[in-house]
Structure 1
Amino acid sequence: MNTMAVIDTFATQWLETPDGQQIYLEQSGNPDGIPVIYCHGGPGGGSSPFHRQLFDPKLYHIIIFDQRGCGLSTPALQLESNSTAHLIADMEQIRQYLQIQSWVVAGGSWGSTLALAYGQAYPEHCLGFILRGIFLGRQQDIDWLYRAGGGASQVFPDYYQDFLQPVAQLSHLDILEAYQLQLHHRDDSVRLEAALAWSIWESRIATLLPNEFSCGGDMDAQSALALALIEHHYFQHHCFFEPDQLLNNIDKINHLPCQIVHGRYDIVCKAENAFSLASLWPGAELKWVVDAGHSASEVGIRSALVQASLAIAVQLQAGEQKAK
């Protein structure tokens, strides 16, 4: 399969939720194939046509949506009625609307978090999982990425200094508290400066080799605002999880097949996350990509994800044959 081949949608729409959100939903691939729903990252990152390319369109019925407040979903930048429980309910509404009995749940970074959380809420509707760049939503994972001394700041101290710049005058506050003030400032320019610094920090450290943002590339303002506002909202609320919630409840889904792809040099989501998850999942296959960081756009990660989706398809088809 050519992973760069364009895959067109066969249906796009906005699905209205009971509380009035309009969730962007698209379908591509084979309507009679294995259903797979893809959870994008962030939270607040939005989906991309690139995500369709991670699945063989002959094998999979590919379902992609934009989570609340970002991408093409409206209202944009919505923080009210935006929690992990809301996103899980949106996914379940999509499943029921499309009349799908069960599906593969896939996602990268925050998308892996949401995929696991959905699976633990509705294990009976999951066929298996394809997960990349594991983020478990624990306090240590948030500290690693955003707090001085956490980990990422030690690897990229120069980029971290730029991340601190918009809140330099608030150094007496915790970093998330300081960003709370700037991201919700009454001055639009202050909000945008903070959103750009937040989003560029994460983007700069997402790849093993320097990328456009580490080389001074510009970021779209609306994308930066969505990512920064929604990520900050979730991380201030500990992703709306109890401590260690995902690992503590892994027995609800660890009987299902799972393919895990993680870059060996992932600085956004540390390698321990994937290792800890796999250690509690006897049937999971963990693929370390030794020439990559965090981003799904890196060649090694993309290739491993395509192979992972093929492996899950083979496992499911073998299971069907055995059942017969």
Structure 2
Amino acid sequence: MKSKFDAISSKPFWPAPRWLARGAHRMAWRELGRADGECWLLLHGGPGGGCQPGMLKPFDLGRQRVIAPDQRGAGASRPRGSIQANHTAALVADLEALREHLGVPRWSLLAGSWGTVVALGYARQHPQRVQRLVLRGAFRLTRREIGGLLLPSARKGKALGRSDAVWPVKPGTPLAWALADLAQLLQSGTPGVASLHALRGWALREMRDAAAGLRRSLLHARGSAAAALRREWAALRRRQRRAEAGLLRPRANRSDRLLWARYRVQAHYLRHRGFVRPGALDGAVRALARQGVAVAWVHGRFDAICPPANSRRWARMGLVAGAAVSLRLPPCGHLADEPAMRAALRQCLAGPPLGPP
């Protein structure tokens, strides 16, 4: 029987997924850690992403139990890339069905980026099932966040050269039109040239904004943290160079098919603003405060994808409402794997639930 850690690499063991039937969807989920330990639900970002082994690093699997599902159409869930009956209310219902399936009375939630939207939705609907929330790099679904990623920009550090030249969204395009065009391009499972440019260009845009935060982190890091960041930076730059080199490749490969599934789901959600009504996220934060659910907000100070003002706003809102709230702003960008972010998350997960403020 495999141990929870590989003895040579010290990396968490990543098991094959199990499945939960949910109508036309099969939700993939994995369970790791100590079976009788403090139970955590791990929610990935995206939309359209998936849980990865690196997301386990903040946990102590010797004393914590981690449930890691892939959302509809994402990761190992099937059908891959499906947008049928795929909306935020369905994701919340899937999580509650998984909790019932596992017989977990209450669990805590660790969520990042888009996952914070799903976490807030779940906690608002099922507060009695939530011990506490740790929310990283909170996403507010604003025009600034979505447009900053997808709309062309002449601003220094935002231009992508050859990628911008083939990016299907042209300067001056309204955001709603851009999202509709991208969603249409990614409908077919056998993408043409324009679709390949769209999904490859989308990946490059995400890497560009992740690199912006990582670069600023490097300016403030010292000692071993700086060395670890330089390795992260070098790895990200290698991925960027490979992506740039393959931008105009005429044929799709396996990597393109995975990107298609990811960005098809993401375009679907962003086009509908996450299927979240205006003001609903603010309402969820206030409701959780009234219900006494503790929330730890953790946001990279140099996050170039989701602005730190998101977490500041919601932490302040929770405090005003009398919630048990903490706010950490580590010197890092959006990536969960940056050393300062990992350290901040470990502190949150290791500590007991917050008491009254």
TM-score, shorter chain, exceeding 0.5: yes
In the superposition, relative to structure 1, how do residues 101 and 308 fare at CA in structure 2: closer, same or farther (>3 Å)? same
Give yes or no for the alignment of 1:276 onto 2:313.
yes
In the superposition, relative to structure 1, how do residues 133 and 101 fare at CA in structure 2: closer, same or farther (>3 Å)? same
Q: TM-score, normalised by structure 2?
A: 0.79
Task: Give the corresponding residue for 2:353.
Answer: 315
Residues 46 and 67, structure 1, Cα contact 8 Å, conserved in 2: yes
Task: Give the corresponding residue for 1:200.
Answer: 204
Q: 2-side partners of 1:259 and 1:135: how far apart?
A: 15
Give yes or no for the alignment of 1:112 onto 2:116.
yes
Give yes or no for the alignment of 1:14 onto 2:16.
no
**Aligned AA for 2:328?**
K
Query: Which whole-Å deviations, capped at 9, do the CAs of 1:256-309 have from their partners, x for residues lacking one?
Result: 22222111110110111111111112222111111x110011111112111111
1:287-306 map, 5 Å: 287-290=328-331, 292-306=332-346
Task: Give the corresponding residue for 2:78.
Answer: 74
1:234-245 map, 5 Å: 234-245=269-280
In the superposition, relative to structure 1, how do residues 265 and 163 fare at CA in structure 2: closer, same or farther (>3 Å)? farther
Q: 1-side partners of 2:316 and 2:28: how far apart?
A: 35
Task: Give the corresponding residue for 1:229.
Answer: 264
Q: 2-side partners of 1:161 and 1:116: how far apart?
A: 38
How many residue pairs align between the two structures? 309
Residues 300 and 329, structure 2, Cα contact 8 Å, conserved in 1: yes
Query: Which whole-Å deviations, capped at 9, do the CAs of 1:166-224 have from their partners, x for residues lacking one?
Result: 21569656322332343236753332221111122112211423523674133821332
1:252: how far off?
2.0
Among 118, 123, 128, which residue is 1:124 paired with? Answer: 128
Among 279, 294, 297, which residue is 1:260 paired with? Answer: 297
Q: Secondary structure at the match of 1:129?
A: strand
For the aligned residue pairs, the C-alpha RMSD in angstroms reads 2.6
Task: Give the corresponding residue for 1:178.
Answer: 181
1:17-32 map, 5 Å: 17=22, 19-32=23-36
Q: 1-side partners of 2:91 and 2:73: how far apart?
A: 11
Q: 1-side partners of 2:16 and 2:198: how far apart?
A: 36
Q: Secondary structure at the match of 2:111?
A: strand
**Aligned AA for 1:137?**
L
Q: 2-side partners of 1:284 and 1:147: how far apart?
A: 35
Q: 1-side partners of 2:194 and 2:208: how far apart?
A: 21
> How high is the sequence identity, in percent, across the aligned residues?
27
Q: 1-side partners of 2:179 and 2:17: how far apart?
A: 36
Q: TM-score, normalised by structure 1?
A: 0.86
Among 34, 44, 49, which residue is 1:45 paired with? Answer: 49
Gaps of 5+ in 2: 216-232, 247-254
Give yes or no for the alignment of 1:156 onto 2:168.
no
Task: Give the corresponding residue for 1:58.
Answer: 62
Task: Give the corresponding residue for 2:10.
Answer: 5
Q: Secondary structure at the match of 2:299?
A: strand
Give yes or no for the alignment of 1:285 onto 2:323.
no
Q: 1-side partners of 2:206 and 2:107: how far apart?
A: 31
Q: Secondary structure at the match of 2:29?
A: strand
1:244: how far off?
2.3
Residues 71 and 91, structure 2, Cα contact 8 Å, conserved in 1: yes
1:148: how far off?
5.1
1:107: how far off?
0.7
Q: Secondary structure at the match of 1:54?
A: coil
Q: 1-side partners of 2:136 and 2:100: how far apart?
A: 26
Q: 2-side partners of 1:62 and 1:45: how far apart?
A: 18
Residues 151 and 171, structure 2, Cα contact 8 Å, conserved in 1: no
